Structure 1
């Protein structure tokens, strides 16, 4: 019997696509190349995932788990002899407990679907990112997604109370804890959050919810220098009393890119300032929250931390501000772009980006550097645009320019996107030999035959 026939026997004909059918699917949301694998299995429940894994474990067949395919480090790439396990049909929100403020959902639920489902309950799941419509909860957990509001709520790890996971041999581990405080032994869920599908398949999640904020106010501000950016973060966080939910920095080249045609956005403030910051405050008092943000901005203006500002007056304005920040695709308009996701101590960001700009200008004068990111949590995104058709050939050189200096800055080659295939050669910049050996030991213990997402991270 063939692999496809065996899988269809386990989970039904509709649940399995053969290699020919995969040629009609894109490998990722940001990619045009087709999926490649021996078969794609689409289970509808944990039991079917378990049967697939047990079979593949017995046959020595490698399995690559996939969520919404929105990743940027090739962490879900498969080869022609492997099986892709997609959680796309496990897309049910099983329960929303308003009293406990907990949701239980299958791993294939898109993030935006959960956001919408919580609205009638006046509850809020704080993780948010540009790919919210496609990215799935299981993928968010497997990559420990960060997004726009880490400064207030933390990364995905802080919002996961429990997980159900299927191990490489098909064993189902039900750790769907719903308690915020549970100190009974090892916190098993943490082994799998951020493991990129190399230790187990996340099938269901127990998620911590928050009360939905009643207000949202935003401002886009211009900053005279980077020292003022750092001081403004501290000032606004202090003045807003814990309600600061986003602090997004934009270097001038990126701001001009997203506010100049062919981009749809237009500049709410001038394009010639040294730095820009997008601020968001979420609160509960419609009568005073906007005034408090305005007062905090006025005092920042008086202190010389801000030189110009545009403040939201409506929810439509807030959506417009975020649309500017999320229009990252503009970096692809006039060439190819390589995207990087790094973390640095905030005090080192200006020196790092300045030195990188000089290094790029000397090595590749035809390249353009765009810098933006969730600066409040130490995360920068770099987009380096090169002439069309040159991205692959220039990638090794550019990666060296971006990653090699991070060791001296005590930075990380990945802030929120993971390691996948793309960054595994640079893992030692951010992790010690002892840490990597410990990771390998955990991988060997949970997946001794190495069939789960092989070739990723290490």
Structure 2
């Protein structure tokens, strides 16, 4: 056992510290697809003080640390490092308080997102952050990546929901900024440093999240559109017709929808094939006006040729069916095998060009490639997963990334819309951020973590 592992064990006990050789398999990888790595040790703190002790000892010895939440990220931000101590927040999962008057929830960073959502629902409130990994991702990870998801078009990114947080710096200093108020302009807003920082500056241990009134009714429509230009016109129409009731606007190109519906055997909501498929979800507090507004939006969209056909769910069961193919991404491993996954942002004006050019250039380079396009287009967020069957397990990841990220850069997009940079996108950060921006990031990192123990090699090179 190395000296740092022995010191951690002595200070925190065997209940908290597991030597790397005994770490469970699940702690050796996240969802990035990177090869499993056995960490130097796995530390599972019980509270913030445990985190502070662990970081202080690691900082004193110059031992690197990798913070971990639900391990559901695809950018490798929580992927272990062989010479580093992994610190998992899984035990810090207590919901401390829900304040219905202030509409806040105070909770530990290890709380699973779905658990927090359900706790808020018991009080007639809503935590507006929602994503497909809701059953496994944790609040700390959601904050550390500034996660987006299905409802950003209405409620915003995670940053819009965090009122306050507690974080532990590299040297073990506990910074408690557990603000509960919407308005608090007293000095620098330190929480913003840690939201989206991917564990580079410290470890988020607790948070105060803003809650919303829970809409009593939802309306969900599944539409078939002729092309991407029609989808953009439909988005503009839906925003005007539904206003703040527009909750989700999810887009699936045939590459994704046809492949995933066939592979999963899920029912296709529309009989005919279309150029692009869209899920529109609206939510509100009066059922009749909500449904009328959605129906009217669809009727005029059909009349003007933006929608070829549409179906409107009449029950919660039918709503779930309309979402089924879009939420079938957990089947990638079974249906595709190893994939190269992308989470990019593209200005809407360039979205049609991005999809058509990527489809054409990927096929031209790898004729048998399976490239699936979908995303939260209401937020300019495009997802793409690719697999080259003839390459087997030896996928040409680097070449695919070079092609995709290069085109996204040329179209004025971003290499990361909602999943962070991690290690997967580190070398492409300069495609989306200027030299001056990256230099400032390094300066902040150096000020808070001078020994560079926090998630080294992630986010940007130091």
Task: Specify the TM-score bucket, using the shorter chain as the normaliser.
Answer: over 0.9
CA contact (8 A) 1:335 1:388 kept: no
User: Could you tell me how far apart the structure 1 residues matched to 2:272 and 2:141 are?
Assistant: 37
Match of 2:148 in 1: 146
For 1:435, what is the secondary structure of its paired residue? Answer: helix
Match of 1:423 in 2: 425
User: Could you tell me how far apart the structure 2 residues matched to 1:334 and 1:72 are?
Assistant: 16
Match of 1:302 in 2: 303
Match of 1:126 in 2: 128
Task: Report 1:246-261 matches (<5 A).
Answer: 246-260=248-262
Distance 1:208 1:225, change over 3 A: same
Match of 2:46 in 1: 44
User: Could you tell me how far apart the structure 2 residues matched to 1:34 and 1:404 are?
Assistant: 28
Match of 1:325 in 2: 326
Match of 1:219 among 221, 241, 251: 221
Match of 1:169 in 2: 171
For 2:171, what is the secondary structure of its paired residue? Answer: coil
Q: Which runs of 5+ in 2 are unaligned?
A: none
Match of 1:360 in 2: 362
Task: Report 1:270-419 matches (<5 A).
Answer: 270=271, 272-332=273-333, 333-387=335-389, 390=392, 392-419=394-421
User: Which one is further off, 177-186 or 108-117?
Assistant: 177-186
Task: Report 1:426-437 matches (<5 A).
Answer: 426-437=428-439
Task: Report 1:198-213 matches (<5 A).
Answer: 198-213=200-215
4+ residue runs over 3 A deviation: 29-35, 329-332, 388-393
User: Which one is further off, 271-280 or 100-109?
Assistant: 271-280
Task: Report 1:434-445 matches (<5 A).
Answer: 434-445=436-447
User: Could you tell me how far apart the structure 2 residues matched to 1:19 and 1:336 are?
Assistant: 26
User: Which one is further off, 303-312 or 375-384?
Assistant: 303-312
Alpha-carbon shift at residue 418 of structure 1 (Å)? 0.5
User: Could you tell me how far apart the structure 1 residues matched to 2:249 and 2:113 are?
Assistant: 21
CA contact (8 A) 1:256 1:271 kept: no
For 2:243, what is the secondary structure of its paired residue? Answer: coil
User: Could you tell me how far apart the structure 2 residues matched to 1:217 and 1:73 are?
Assistant: 33
Match of 1:181 in 2: 183
Q: Is it true that 1:191 corresponds to 2:169 in the alignment?
A: no
For 2:339, what is the secondary structure of its paired residue? Answer: strand
User: Could you tell me how far apart the structure 2 residues matched to 1:393 and 1:404 are?
Assistant: 19
User: Which one is further off, 95-104 or 3-12?
Assistant: 3-12
User: Could you tell me how far apart the structure 2 residues matched to 1:312 and 1:326 are?
Assistant: 17
Number of paired residues?
Answer: 457
Match of 1:63 in 2: 65
Alpha-carbon shift at residue 256 of structure 1 (Å)? 0.7
User: Which one is further off, 448-457 or 403-412?
Assistant: 403-412
CA contact (8 A) 2:31 2:74 kept: no
For 2:287, what is the secondary structure of its paired residue? Answer: coil
User: Could you tell me how far apart the structure 2 residues matched to 1:168 and 1:283 are?
Assistant: 44
Alpha-carbon shift at residue 288 of structure 1 (Å)? 2.6
CA contact (8 A) 1:45 1:90 kept: yes
Q: Which runs of 5+ in 1 are unaligned?
A: none
CA contact (8 A) 2:126 2:212 kept: yes
CA contact (8 A) 1:336 1:388 kept: no
CA contact (8 A) 2:18 2:42 kept: yes
Deviations 1:317-342 (A, max 9, x none): 11222222111244441443211000
CA contact (8 A) 1:232 1:305 kept: yes
For 2:59, what is the secondary structure of its paired residue? Answer: helix
Alpha-carbon shift at residue 35 of structure 1 (Å)? 4.4
User: Could you tell me how far apart the structure 1 residues matched to 2:218 and 2:70 are?
Assistant: 28
User: Could you tell me how far apart the structure 1 residues matched to 2:427 and 2:23 are?
Assistant: 29
For 1:273, what is the secondary structure of its paired residue? Answer: coil
For 2:386, what is the secondary structure of its paired residue? Answer: strand
Alpha-carbon shift at residue 3 of structure 1 (Å)? 2.8
User: Could you tell me how far apart the structure 1 residues matched to 2:115 and 2:419 are?
Assistant: 21
